[in-house]
Structure 1
C-alpha cells in the first residue's frame, strides 16, 4: 500500500487532530463515592422495617431498643459499603494496555511521542517488541508477526501482510493488513497509518462494554433479594395480624402492643443474616485461597457453586498456551510421538531410532531466532513460540543447544516473511555451508528435489508428503516441514532456496493441560455443562475438544461466521445455534457476549473463564467471571470476580465445591434464623388466642435474638464440607433460597419450638407462677432450643450423631458460651433488672433441658424421613 504522505503529519496538524479526537487513552470509569454506596445499603425491605421499628422505639421512649437496632443497621451498611467500593475498578487496567511511548514520523523526522499523543493519520513505525499504540493500517511490513492472543484468543502470532485486502467485516484474526492497539510485535518491522485511537479502537470497543457496568447479578444476590422481599412481607403481615388479634381479644394496652410489635419485628427479622453471610463468604474466601482461587469480590465466593454452565477460553485455560511438537512424521511414513507439554521436560518415542531424528532437530535449531535455557529452577524461553518449540524438541532428543550452535556457526539468517512462508539459516559446515529451512509443507516440498528416508535420500514423492500434512491438519495440528541443503556458497542464502532435501514434518499444537480433562469430567458429574470458546481455527478447537471430552450436541463446531449469519436471522435462530453447541471457534470478543446472553436467556447461571482482553466483556456479562492469574492480562483480572492463581482449570472444580459449601452454610444459617423467628411468632399467636399475657417482653425478645442467634448463626457459617457437594446436581437457576426443604424445616422445627414453649408457659401460669417468673423460664427454654437447634442445623440431612463433633469447633464452643452468657446475665444486677431476669434453679434448668431435647428427637426424625424419601426416589 502506498503512503499518502511519506513525511507524516506536521506538528501543527497533529496538535489539531489531538484537539479534535482527544488523547489516545481509555477513560477511567466513574466510580460512586463512599457516601452514595453507604446510602445504597439501606435499600432493602428488611432495612425499611427495622428503621420503622427504631423510629417507633424512640417515639415510645424505648431508647435502648432504638440504639440496638441502629447499631445493627450501621454495621451492616459499613460492611456493604466496603465490599462495593472494592469492586468498582473493573475497567481501570485497560488504560495500562496502551501506556508508554510510540514511534511516529512527523515533519519528516522519526520521533518518540507519548502514546496519548498519537492521533488518527499519524505515520506509525513498529519493530520487534513494540506494543501497538493504536489501530494501524499497514503500508509496509517486513517479516511482521503480531501476538494478538490477548485480543482474539488465537495462540499463534499472526503474520501481517500490507498488500492483503480482506473482505469488509472480516473477523479481527483475518484482518492481516491491520495492527490493533494493545497487541505486541513478536518480530519484524512495519510502517502504517493510524486509523483509530482511544475508544474508537478495537480495545476501546471492549472498554465500552466493560465500563457500561454489569448486566447480571451474582446468583446469591438474586436469591437473597427474592428471599428478603418474601420474608419481609411475611413478617409484616404476621405482626399486623397479631396486633389485630390482640385488639379483638382485648386486655392489652396500646403501649404494650407497640413494644411487642417492635420486639417481634427485631426478633423475627434475620438482621443477623448480613453478618453471618459476610462471615460465611469470608470463610469461603480463605478456603478457596488455599485452593488457588483468589476472590476479588466477596459476594462471588458462592457464585461458582451456583453455576450450571461454564464457558471456558481455550488458550491458557484449558491448554498450556505453549505450542508443543507432539508428532514427527518422516518421509516414508515413520511416525514418532513426542511426550511433554510446553517448555519443559519430555521424551520422544522409539529411542532406538532417534538417530533418524537428529537432522530434523538440527535444522529446527539452526533456522531459529529464539532462546531456551534452564534458570532459576525452571525452563525459561524467549522468542517466537514456534521457534521455542523446536528448541524444546532438540532438548527432548538429548541435544545440547550450545554445543550444536558452536559446531555450525551462523553465516546468514533468512527471517520469516509471510510472502515466503518460511525461515532459514545458512551455517558453516566444514569448508562449505549448510542451508537449514523450515516452513509450510507446500513450500518446502516445492523447493525439494529429494527426501530423506530409512534408505537414504530418494526422489521426492510430493503426493505422499501432501497426504501426510493434510492428515495432520485434519487432526487440528499446525504442520511445519523442514529441509536442508549442503552448499559450497557461504553467502547468498536467499538465492539457494531450491534443490533441498526434505527431512520431514512436525505436528504442533497448544496441548491440553494434564488435569483439564478430569476437571471437565468432574464438572459434568456435578451437573455443570462446559463449553470451549476460542479464537483458534475450528479444526484445532475440534481436536482440543476431542481430547477434553467436550462434544457439541449437534456434532459441529460453531464458528463466528455462523453466529453472524444466525444473528441476521434473528434472536431465535441465534439461540437455536448456540444452545446445543459446546465448541465455538473463530469467535470475536463481542460474540462471546452473545453466547453468554443466549445461555442466560435459557435460564443458566453462567461462569466465563479466560485470560485475555478478548474474554473481559463476556466475563463482565456473565453471572461470574473467572480469570487466570499467571498468564491473565490485567484487564481480564480486573473484570473478573475470581482469579485462578495457578491457571489450572481443575482449580475451578475445587472452587465449585467450596461455592456449594458456602451456599449450604448460608442455607443453614437462614433456616436457623427463620425457624427461631417463626417459633416466636407462633408462641405469641397461641398465647393471645389463649388469653394469656405476653410470654416475653420486648427487651427479652431483643436479648433472645442476640443470644440465641447472634453467636451461633455466625459460628454455623464455619461448618466444613459434608463431602457430597460434587455428587449433587446444581441448584435450579430459578430455585429460591427459601425452597420446599427449608420451608418444611422451618414449619416442623419452628412449630415444635413454638408449641413446646407455649405449653411450658401455659403450665407455669396455671401452676401459679408469676408472669415474670414464667417469662424468665420461657426465655431460658427458648435459648436452650436455640442451642439444640444450632447443633442440629450442622447438616440438613445427616444425623447430628454422624457428624464429626469437633468438625466445627467454633459452633461447639458457641453453644455453651451462649448459654453461659445468658446464665451470667441473670446474676448481673443491672442487666438482670433491664431484662427482668433472675437466676434459674439447677432442677428447673434440667427440666427445661429435658423439654428442649424433645426438639432434637423431632429434628432427627425429620432428617430420617427425608433420607428415606430421597432413597425411595433414587430407587425409582
Structure 2
C-alpha cells in the first residue's frame, strides 16, 4: 500500500502555517482530536488531500548538494592549481603569451572535466539515497495503510511499533509498553517510557512530555497509536534542523588517498628540485627550468586522484544499486571485499518470507494437513487418517478464532483482489483461519478487543484480551517453550485435560525435524488482578489449543549464493529464532550444516557467556547455525567472530539488531522488512531482502575496489614514467625532452579521459573465486609497487632512448620533442590496457567488454593527431604531423610496455604456482 501514500506527495507546493496547537501535551485526547478536526477512525482521503495542499509534505528542507557553478569554482582551490596560475603569470611577465594562454586553457579544461565528474558523482549518490524511503502505518477511513512518511498530515492517526522512526510530532492516544529513544532531541541516553492517559502542565520540559512522541526519535519497544499534531518544520526537530545538520564526512578510502597523494607530492617535489638543480647546473635558462619544474610537478603528482576515486566509487555504488544493494556509507564498498564471514538472518533473507500454514497439531493427534499456497485463502484443512474430522472440528475452529483475535495482520478483498499487510506469521494464520470460514472482521465484531501484549523478541509470544458476552478472554500465540508455563490444560476431543508437556514437546520435535516452524496457540479466561492493566501476570491457567506448523520456502537463489560465498573464501552462518531441529533441517537443505554439532542454541551461548569469552569463541568457531537466539545475543556472536579473526558482515531487520549492525564490520539491513532503526544503522541496505543480493554486493564491491586500484596504478605509473624520462635526459646533458605545455597536454588528453573510462571496467569473472582481501592491506601494496616500477622504468627508458636517437639522427630539438610527445601519448594509450588487470593477460581480456575505454583511448589519440593539424594549437604545443610510417614505428615502441607487463604477469603466475 506504499504506492497509495506515494501518490499523495506534492511537489512545488507552498505550505501554509500549520494548525497552532501550542501545547498538545496539556490537552486531553478527545479535545485534541476535536481541535485537529480528526476522529478515531482516521481522516478521509479527501481531507488528507486537502491538508496536503494546505500544509505540504512532511519533510524538512534538505541541504542541497553544491551546484554546478560552486563545484566548478571549487576545482581551483588546490595548491597545485595556485602553482600553475603562478606559472601562467610568470609566462606573461616573460612575454611567453602563448604558454600563458595554454596553461590557463588547460586549467579551464581540467576544471570542466573535474566538475562533470564530481557533479555526476554527487547526483548519482543523491539518486541512491532516494531509493531508501521511510514508510509508516496510518489509519484512514477505518482502514490501515502503509504510506510514505512524507504524506502525513496533521490529524492523521499513526500506528507505531518497535524499531520504527517517529515520523512527526504526535500525541499518544493509546500505548502498550512504549519506550522511545529521544536522545536526538534531549540528549537523554535512556529510552523514555510513555503514558498516553496523562495530561501535563503547559511548561513541562520537552524531556518530560511522556504523552508525546517527537519526529526523528526512535521507538525502542512496545506499540502506540498516535495523533499527528505537527509535521515538517513545525515539529520540534524542525526548529533544530539547521543546528543538528552535519557536513558529509569523507570515507576512509578517500582520506587515505588524499594522504597518499600528499606523500607522493612531497616525493615529487624533492625529485623536481633535484632535476631543476641539474638543469641549472647544465645551463638551462631559468624561466624554462621554472615552467618545466611546475609542469613536471603537476603532471607527476596525481592531484586528480581523489576525484577519480570518487567517480570510481560512485560507479561501483550505482552498479550495486542495480543489483539491489544500496550503499549508505562509501566505506562499505571497500569493506565488502574484506568480509570473511556473513551472519545471516533466515526469515526473508534465506527464505522468501511468505509463510504458509501447512500443518495443525491438536494435542494427542497426528498432524492435520492444510492445502493451498501463499497468501490467497484457498484450500482446505483435512484430518489425518484414522481421526474423526467432525469430532475435532470445534477444536480447529477454536484454534482459528484464537489466532484471528491475537493478530496484527490484515487480509481482505480490495478492488476484487486479496490484499494483505503485517507480519508474515500473522497473515499466514489469517489465511489458515479463512480456510475454516473464520474471518477476522466477524471475529472482532463478536470478540471486542480491549487490550493486547504485542510480540517482542525478548518474550517470544503475543496475547490479546477480548470481551465475549461481557467476559474477558485471552488468546495467545508463541513459541511452545514460552506458552507451556502459562498453560495448565490442553484441549482434546474428550474435553479439557491436564496438560501433558512431554507429549506436546515430542509432537513439536517431530514436526520441527521436518523443517516446520512451530507456533503454539492457547486461550483462557482472564482473571482480574486488582486494577492492574493487562500484562504477562494475567497469562496463567490457560488451555493449549494446539500448534501450527508453517513453511517458509527457501529462496531459489539462496543455496547457489552460499556456494558462491564459500568459493570466495567467505563462511556463512544462519541466525534464527527457530527451534534447533527446524533450523538444522533448513540449514541442511542449504548445505550450511551437515551435523547437529554445528548448531548452537541461545541457551548454550548464554551458558558460555557466563563462563568466559574463550568459551563463547569455541562455540562460534565451528557453528554454522545459531538457533533460538535472542536479538541481543547476535551482538555476542558478532563480537566472538571478530575475536576469532573474522571480518564480519551481519544482516538485521529489527530494532534490537542495531547493536549487532553497528558492531559488525559491515552492517546489512533489509529494505522491505527492515525497521527504520536497522536501516539507519546499517552500512548497506538490501532492497529485495534476498541473500543472493549480498553475494552480488560482495562481487560488485570487489570489482569497485579493483577498479580503484586500476585508476591509482595508471595515474601513479604514468607520472613516475615522466620523472624517469626527465631524470635520464638531464643526467645525459640533453635538452628538456618535453616543454611545459606539452606535459600539460599529455596529461589532459590521456589520463584526463582514460582514468574515468577505466573506472567503468567490468569484473574479470573471478571475483568470487578469490580469497578476501586482508582488511589492513594497503592499496599501494608490494604488487602495485612492482608494477609501477617496471612500467615507469620501461616507458621512461624507451622514451629517453627515442629522444636521444632523434637528436643524434639530426632532427631538431623541436622535432625530437614532437616525436617524444607522440610516443608518450601512444605509451599511455597502450598502458591503460595493462591497467585492466593485475594478473590476466591483455590478450585474454576481451576489449569489447569496456567499449568506453576503447572509445576513450581512440579519442585521446585522435585529439592529439587533430592538434597536429590545427593551426595555432600546433604552434603552441610545438607539434606537427608525422608520416604514417613514423607513427607505426612509435606505436611499435609503445608496445614495449605491454610486453614488459605481460612478462611480469607470467612471472606472477609462475611465482603463484611455485608458492602453491
The reply on whether 1:479 has 2:519 as its aligned counterpart is yes
Residues 792, 39 of structure 1: alpha-carbon distance in 2 compared, 3 angstrom cutoff: closer
Deviations 1:494-534, CA, capped at 9 Å, x for gaps:
xxx99999764224688875644553453343234557778
The reply on whether 1:363 has 2:398 as its aligned counterpart is yes
Find the counterpart in structure 2 of residue 235 from structure 1: 268
Instruction: Decide whether the 8 Å contact of 2:488 with 2:541 is kept in 1.
Output: no
The equivalences for 1:574-723 within 5 A come to 585-587=629-631, 607=649, 609-614=651-656, 625-634=667-676, 636-637=678-679, 642-723=684-765
2:503 to 448, 459, 465: 465
- The alpha carbon displacement at 1:273 in A equals 3.3
Deviations 1:239-265, CA, capped at 9 Å, x for gaps:
223223334x42212211111111212
Find the counterpart in structure 1 of residue 836 from structure 2: 794
- The alpha carbon displacement at 1:782 in A equals 1.1
Instruction: Decide whether the 8 Å contact of 1:411 with 1:425 is kept in 2.
Output: no
Find the counterpart in structure 2 of residue 774 from structure 1: 816
- The alpha carbon displacement at 1:179 in A equals 12
- The alpha carbon displacement at 1:328 in A equals 3.7
Deviations 1:289-310, CA, capped at 9 Å, x for gaps:
3322234566755553344555
The reply on whether 1:805 has 2:847 as its aligned counterpart is yes
Find the counterpart in structure 2 of residue 104 from structure 1: none
Instruction: Decide whether the 8 Å contact of 2:433 with 2:439 is kept in 1.
Output: no
The reply on whether 1:451 has 2:483 as its aligned counterpart is no
Instruction: Decide whether the 8 Å contact of 1:578 with 1:595 is kept in 2.
Output: no
Residues 632, 552 of structure 1: alpha-carbon distance in 2 compared, 3 angstrom cutoff: farther
**Please, which runs of 5 or more residues in structure 1 have no aligned partner?**
1-9, 16-25, 102-113, 118-123, 152-159, 163-176, 191-202, 429-434, 486-496
Residues 472, 288 of structure 1: alpha-carbon distance in 2 compared, 3 angstrom cutoff: same
Greater mean deviation of Cα atoms: 412-421 or 775-784: 412-421
Find the counterpart in structure 2 of residue 728 from structure 1: 770
Distance in 1 (CA, whole Å) between partners of 2:244 and 2:663 is 11
Find the counterpart in structure 1 of residue 289 from structure 2: 257
Distance in 1 (CA, whole Å) between partners of 2:134 and 2:496 is 58
Instruction: Decide whether the 8 Å contact of 2:218 with 2:677 is kept in 1.
Output: no
Find the counterpart in structure 2 of residue 266 from structure 1: 298
Residues 446, 784 of structure 1: alpha-carbon distance in 2 compared, 3 angstrom cutoff: same
1:756 to 798, 806, 815: 798
Distance in 2 (CA, whole Å) between partners of 1:756 and 1:345 is 77
Deviations 1:818-862, CA, capped at 9 Å, x for gaps:
222111111111110000011101221122122222332222222
Residues 83, 729 of structure 1: alpha-carbon distance in 2 compared, 3 angstrom cutoff: same
Distance in 2 (CA, whole Å) between partners of 1:128 and 1:216 is 31
1:55 to 77, 86, 89: 86
* 3-state SS, counterpart of residue 685 of structure 2: strand
1:381 to 420, 425, 437: 420
The equivalences for 1:810-829 within 5 A come to 810-829=852-871
Instruction: Decide whether the 8 Å contact of 2:102 with 2:876 is kept in 1.
Output: no
Distance in 1 (CA, whole Å) between partners of 2:606 and 2:218 is 24
Find the counterpart in structure 2 of residue 372 from structure 1: 411
- The alpha carbon displacement at 1:557 in A equals 4.3
Instruction: Decide whether the 8 Å contact of 2:609 with 2:616 is kept in 1.
Output: no
- What TM-score comes out, normalization by structure 2 length? 0.66
**Please, which runs of 5 or more residues in structure 2 have no aligned partner?**
1-21, 28-57, 93-99, 141-151, 184-192, 196-209, 227-235, 455-460, 526-538
Residues 603, 342 of structure 1: alpha-carbon distance in 2 compared, 3 angstrom cutoff: farther
Distance in 1 (CA, whole Å) between partners of 2:259 and 2:597 is 35
Distance in 1 (CA, whole Å) between partners of 2:79 and 2:742 is 22
Instruction: Decide whether the 8 Å contact of 2:453 with 2:464 is kept in 1.
Output: no
The reply on whether 1:392 has 2:424 as its aligned counterpart is no
The reply on whether 1:224 has 2:265 as its aligned counterpart is no
- The alpha carbon displacement at 1:13 in A equals 9.4
Find the counterpart in structure 2 of residue 196 from structure 1: none
Residues 41, 365 of structure 1: alpha-carbon distance in 2 compared, 3 angstrom cutoff: farther
- The alpha carbon displacement at 1:656 in A equals 1.2
Residues 748, 340 of structure 1: alpha-carbon distance in 2 compared, 3 angstrom cutoff: farther
Find the counterpart in structure 1 of residue 532 from structure 2: none
- The alpha carbon displacement at 1:716 in A equals 2.0
The reply on whether 1:841 has 2:883 as its aligned counterpart is yes
Deviations 1:120-142, CA, capped at 9 Å, x for gaps:
xxxx9999999999999x9999x
Residues 511, 223 of structure 1: alpha-carbon distance in 2 compared, 3 angstrom cutoff: farther
Residues 355, 555 of structure 1: alpha-carbon distance in 2 compared, 3 angstrom cutoff: closer
Deviations 1:8-51, CA, capped at 9 Å, x for gaps:
xx989949xxxxxxxxxx9989979959x97999899x943443
Residues 513, 771 of structure 1: alpha-carbon distance in 2 compared, 3 angstrom cutoff: same
Greater mean deviation of Cα atoms: 636-645 or 823-832: 636-645
Distance in 2 (CA, whole Å) between partners of 1:12 and 1:437 is 35
Residues 322, 629 of structure 1: alpha-carbon distance in 2 compared, 3 angstrom cutoff: same
Residues 250, 140 of structure 1: alpha-carbon distance in 2 compared, 3 angstrom cutoff: closer
* 3-state SS, counterpart of residue 808 of structure 1: helix
The equivalences for 1:525-604 within 5 A come to 525-528=567-570, 549=592, 555=600, 557=602, 585-587=629-631
* 3-state SS, counterpart of residue 797 of structure 1: coil
- What TM-score comes out, normalization by structure 1 length? 0.69
Distance in 2 (CA, whole Å) between partners of 1:447 and 1:857 is 83
What is the CA RMSD across the aligned residues, in angstroms? 6.4
- The alpha carbon displacement at 1:225 in A equals 3.7
Instruction: Decide whether the 8 Å contact of 2:487 with 2:544 is kept in 1.
Output: yes
Distance in 2 (CA, whole Å) between partners of 1:573 and 1:73 is 57
Residues 301, 436 of structure 1: alpha-carbon distance in 2 compared, 3 angstrom cutoff: closer
Residues 222, 520 of structure 1: alpha-carbon distance in 2 compared, 3 angstrom cutoff: farther
- The alpha carbon displacement at 1:322 in A equals 6.3
- The alpha carbon displacement at 1:380 in A equals 2.8
Instruction: Decide whether the 8 Å contact of 2:661 with 2:682 is kept in 1.
Output: yes
Instruction: Decide whether the 8 Å contact of 1:280 with 1:665 is kept in 2.
Output: yes
Distance in 1 (CA, whole Å) between partners of 2:730 and 2:522 is 93
Find the counterpart in structure 1 of residue 893 from structure 2: 851
Instruction: Decide whether the 8 Å contact of 1:363 with 1:482 is kept in 2.
Output: no
Instruction: Decide whether the 8 Å contact of 2:160 with 2:166 is kept in 1.
Output: no
Find the counterpart in structure 2 of residue 293 from structure 1: 325
Distance in 2 (CA, whole Å) between partners of 1:178 and 1:320 is 39
Residues 375, 866 of structure 1: alpha-carbon distance in 2 compared, 3 angstrom cutoff: farther
Distance in 2 (CA, whole Å) between partners of 1:84 and 1:563 is 48
The reply on whether 1:305 has 2:345 as its aligned counterpart is no
Distance in 2 (CA, whole Å) between partners of 1:478 and 1:863 is 57
Instruction: Decide whether the 8 Å contact of 2:138 with 2:159 is kept in 1.
Output: no
- The alpha carbon displacement at 1:214 in A equals 11
Instruction: Decide whether the 8 Å contact of 1:781 with 1:849 is kept in 2.
Output: yes
Deviations 1:559-588, CA, capped at 9 Å, x for gaps:
99899989xx9xx99997999698594445
Deviations 1:660-697, CA, capped at 9 Å, x for gaps:
11222222222122221111111111111111111111
- The alpha carbon displacement at 1:598 in A equals 8.8
- The alpha carbon displacement at 1:872 in A equals 2.6
Distance in 1 (CA, whole Å) between partners of 2:366 and 2:866 is 85
Distance in 2 (CA, whole Å) between partners of 1:713 and 1:498 is 70
2:912 to 848, 870, 875: 870
* 3-state SS, counterpart of residue 488 of structure 2: helix
